[in-house]
Structure 1
Amino acid sequence: MSASAFSPQPLPAWRRAVLKVGSSLLAGEGGLDPQYAIGLARFIDAAHVRGREVVLVSSGAVAAGRGRVGAAGDGLVLRQALASLGQASLIAFWQQLTTQPVAQVLLTHDDLRNRRRYLNARATLRELLRLGTLPVINENDAVAVDELKLGDNDNLAAAVASLVDADLLLIATDIGGLYSAHPLRDPSARPVERVEHITPELLEAAGGGAGVLGTGGMRTKLEAAAKAGAAGIATVLFCGRDAHVVEALADDRLHGTLVLAQGDRLRARKQWLRHAPASGRLQVDEGAALALRRQGASLLPGGVVAVEGDFRRGDVVEIAIAGQAPFARGLAQYSAGEVRRIARRHSQDIEVILGFRYGESVVHRDDLVLLGSTANTEATT
């Protein structure tokens, strides 16, 4: 059934998106085939011209590696070896298709569940986007083992969307989107253009095996959409093989399935920050407090006057003026000992003092929530 069966609908407003492209759109005889990737690369470039940011989660390393050595079989160790062989080819493949500099980022589940590694990965991706590059992300198959593997790149894409605070998750498929039944087996199957909630019944109906080259069918895509939706991120499923569908995306028109977000992305994150246990406290001066409360600013080291507790990078800390109740909470970008060394100093001095630099802020504004009456100003900052 053609993707044209899906009526056009507007894409949700977005500034930063994660685009997932699977092996079924990239693998050909003897390695990687640019037939469908060209259109997706043009979409990425068009988004960049409009001031938008795209993070690409791309499969294809195993197919690229297999094309180099012609190895048969599908065991885990062999796939790990083929992924190692194919990673360089995969990055070169995308670099040839896009005008942006391409950066490779390999992740494992352990990187995303460990708070410090999580912050390190997010800081790196944020800097790569600031530099105008296209981050290309894949699972670190060469070192991941069964209990650490994220399982598939659909779910990896959902995790990355949350990691980079994306507004939208785009999943390119080899069919038009979600249908009421399997479109190749049931002639009565009808396109499902909008999904309010992903239910267990819907997941069960979407179950089934993947193609020979792919690692996940529609069920894993809906699982990923559910995870993204829980983080306040909408998901769209579209046919990456249909040039007209991909071209329409650049004009914010979707011919496919839109899975709505469940709640507000920032509100969900800030709600967690309000209730997570704090490991320490930062005392700040009046100027820093005013900037945080009224201007939506990050907490810079120059505004910190004292440090309480022995927290690590990535821990939740309270923020207060000396002698007063905390008015904010956030994730510390530096450990307690490091903050003590850079307190009252300019952000430009961080690397000179510490010998390294995670960023200019002690608590970034994206990782900060105001408390009490001050929380009312967050909507306007």
Structure 2
Amino acid sequence: MTEADTDAFPEQALPAWRRAVLKVGSSLLAADGGGLSDRYAAALAAFVRASQAAGREVVIVSSGAVAAGRAILHAAPIAGAAMAERQALAALGQARLTGFWQGFFERPVAQVLLTHDDLRNRRRYLNARATLTALLRHGALPVVNENDTVSVDELKLGDNDNLAAIVAALVDADVLFIATDIDGLYDADPRIEPHARPMPVVAKMSASLLSVAGGAGSSVGTGGMRTKLEAAQRAASAGVATVLFNGRRADVLAGLAHDRLRGTRIHPLRTRMAARKHWLQNAPAEAGGILVDAGAANAMVEKGASLLPGGVLAAEGQFRRGDLVTIALLDGDAREPIARGVTQYSADDIRRLARRHSRDIEATLGYTYGETIVHRDDLVLV
């Protein structure tokens, strides 16, 4: 696309954001189909550095490990290559990909390898969120990629687009930035339809929009516009806005650093907190739950506080860390449900922690997942 093509998208303000996920595909990183190139990555990294300098937090979801591994072996792409071959290339290229990103930043870059299974399992989901949150708190830059060396189903069309949307929900991001090799979303494929019209704003995703999205546009990438829109749809349901832009345009990246967009902005269905509260209110809870005293109940209801072990009286049932459970006030023999939340500890752990101080958790269990039994961000009143 030419500069004139990009200018067909009117400049607009970015949504307000404090934390973001930036997805970068292989088409922006590979050097003419082999190795890793800073041709486009340098401007993407400059945008991240400018955001960090402004006090914002960024997580990068980056493709490119297979392409990097292929360059190490000087191997040409093979149509229909065996999964084991692609996994071997990913294993070779992953370290080089992480080092490639580290070269753009003075702050430490952390490699985080995930699969969709890690994020479907509630316990591993919580562990991944805790790790990413801790990395951001320490000022590191997490670079997330699929754990392709052990995945089977994950090395498929559009994998990292959808992974980026899941990570955006995981870390409570305000916006998902998806860097593409075209200018944004059109009402038809601009590569084959010269009269395709730009769509700078999408208020709501629809089946008709997905139907006009094309397939993969790169010999090294695995995702096309359709998978990017599927990711935007997933992000929207979690209350996260999505921005599609041309990652090959340094001037577009410079505009993003000043909160100005030339591309497509896709609105979320609801606020991020509303989406999370909706899930907490409506997802099925595990049998049993946590019984608390009046002080803990009052703190949660009146003050919006987290549930601490000191206010816990007992745990009923055999739920596990990461399960959604009911929290009830125990009044004599009566149980009055007051909240639902995702527990940081199992039922067995909570029985050992009941009535203890948060500072005693590690001494009691031999490990700790934090000072709260249920954090206020994972809790909704009923």
The whole-number CA distance in structure 2 between the counterparts of 1:117 and 1:15 is 25
Unaligned residue ranges in structure 1 (runs of 5+): 372-381
Match of 2:336, SS state, is coil
Deviation at 1:234, TM superposition (A): 1.1
Aligned twin of 1:376: none
Say if 2:305 is the partner of 1:297.
Answer: yes
Say if 2:295 is the partner of 1:287.
Answer: yes
The whole-number CA distance in structure 2 between the counterparts of 1:279 and 1:250 is 48
Deviation at 1:59, TM superposition (A): 0.4
Match of 2:39, SS state, is coil
Deviation at 1:357, TM superposition (A): 1.5
User: Paired residue for 2:361, among 350, 355, 366?
Assistant: 350
Deviation at 1:147, TM superposition (A): 7.2
The whole-number CA distance in structure 2 between the counterparts of 1:145 and 1:53 is 31
Aligned twin of 1:322: 330
User: Paired residue for 2:347, among 327, 336, 342?
Assistant: 336
Say if 2:320 is the partner of 1:312.
Answer: yes
Number of aligned residue pairs: give it: 371
Aligned twin of 1:378: none
The whole-number CA distance in structure 1 between the counterparts of 2:156 and 2:315 is 38
Match of 1:97, SS state, is coil
Greater alpha carbon shift after TM alignment, 201-210 vs 36-45 = 201-210
Greater alpha carbon shift after TM alignment, 220-229 vs 292-301 = 292-301
Aligned twin of 2:12: 9
The whole-number CA distance in structure 2 between the counterparts of 1:213 and 1:342 is 52
Say if 2:142 is the partner of 1:135.
Answer: yes
Aligned twin of 2:179: 172
Match of 1:322, SS state, is strand
Unaligned residue ranges in structure 2 (runs of 5+): none
User: Paired residue for 2:218, among 211, 214, 220?
Assistant: 211
Match of 1:156, SS state, is helix
Relative to the length of structure 1, the TM-score reads 0.92
The whole-number CA distance in structure 1 between the counterparts of 2:16 and 2:104 is 26
Say if 2:205 is the partner of 1:198.
Answer: yes
The whole-number CA distance in structure 2 between the counterparts of 1:147 and 1:169 is 20
Say if 2:69 is the partner of 1:65.
Answer: yes
| Structure 1 residues 262 and 59, CA gap change in structure 2 (3 angstroms) | same
The whole-number CA distance in structure 2 between the counterparts of 1:320 and 1:9 is 47
2:187–2:209 contact (8 Å) kept in structure 1: no
Deviation at 1:325, TM superposition (A): 1.0
Q: What letter is aligned with 1:182?
A: D
Relative to the length of structure 2, the TM-score reads 0.92
| Structure 1 residues 23 and 148, CA gap change in structure 2 (3 angstroms) | closer
Deviation at 1:134, TM superposition (A): 1.1
The whole-number CA distance in structure 2 between the counterparts of 1:235 and 1:327 is 35
| Structure 1 residues 148 and 185, CA gap change in structure 2 (3 angstroms) | closer
1:45–1:100 contact (8 Å) kept in structure 2: no
| Structure 1 residues 125 and 192, CA gap change in structure 2 (3 angstroms) | same
Encode CA deviations 1:166-195: one digit per residue, 9 max, x unaligned: 111110011111122222322222211011
User: Paired residue for 2:37, among 18, 33, 39?
Assistant: 33
Match of 1:120, SS state, is helix
1:109–1:149 contact (8 Å) kept in structure 2: no
